[in-house]
């Protein structure tokens, strides 16, 4: 399972980092990360919720019609800052940088061209 998909499964994850400088000791730290469940709702004027067509955790079918088309790209671009997108950022973070911005448009465009 890829790390990006793993971090999209709701739950609390303990992340541990250990740095070995080659000395008699190591430096280590831990942090807990919480991934909240999605609360998807229709985006823009559509009636259906976005869907994940390939099971990778990213919801590329923005209009929920079961297909990935240029219409999905246009809808995503027009509603990047809307609550249904920002509230579920990890479902639409196509460039995997932790935020929803214009930079997520090109990776979605590339998915359509495949």
Same domain, 113 and 66: yes
Q: Please give the backbone phi and psi of residue 85, each rounded to the nearest 5 degrees, phi first.
A: -85, -50
* CA atoms of 93 and 56, how far apart (whole Å): 12
Task: Please report the pLDDT score of residue 1 as a whole number.
Answer: 42
Q: Please give the backbone phi and psi of residue 38, each rounded to the nearest 5 degrees, phi first.
A: -70, 150
Same domain, 99 and 109: yes
User: Total structural domains in the chain?
Assistant: 2
Same domain, 26 and 49: no
Same domain, 91 and 52: yes
Domain that holds residue 14: 1-37
CA angle 92, 97, 99 (to 5 degrees): 55
pLDDT in tens, 48-69: 999 999 988 899 999 999 999 9
pLDDT in tens, 3-28: 455 456 789 999 999 999 999 999 99
Same domain, 59 and 112: yes
* CA atoms of 76 and 12, how far apart (whole Å): 29
Same domain, 62 and 99: yes
């Amino acid at each position: 399972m890829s790390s990006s998909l793993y971090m999209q499964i709701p739950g609390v994850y303990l992340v541990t980092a250990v740095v070995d400088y080659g000395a008699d000791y190591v430096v280590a730290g831990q942090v807990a990360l919480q991934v909240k469940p999605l609360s998807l709702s229709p985006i823009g004027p559509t009636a259906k919720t976005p869907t994940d067509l390939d099971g990778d955790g990213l919801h590329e079918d923005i209009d929920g019609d079961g297909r990935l088309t240029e219409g999905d790209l246009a809808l995503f671009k027009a509603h990047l800052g809307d609550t249904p997108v920002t509230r579920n950022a990890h479902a639409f973070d196509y460039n995997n940088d932790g935020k929803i911005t214009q930079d997520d448009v090109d990776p979605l465009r590339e998915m359509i061209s495949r």
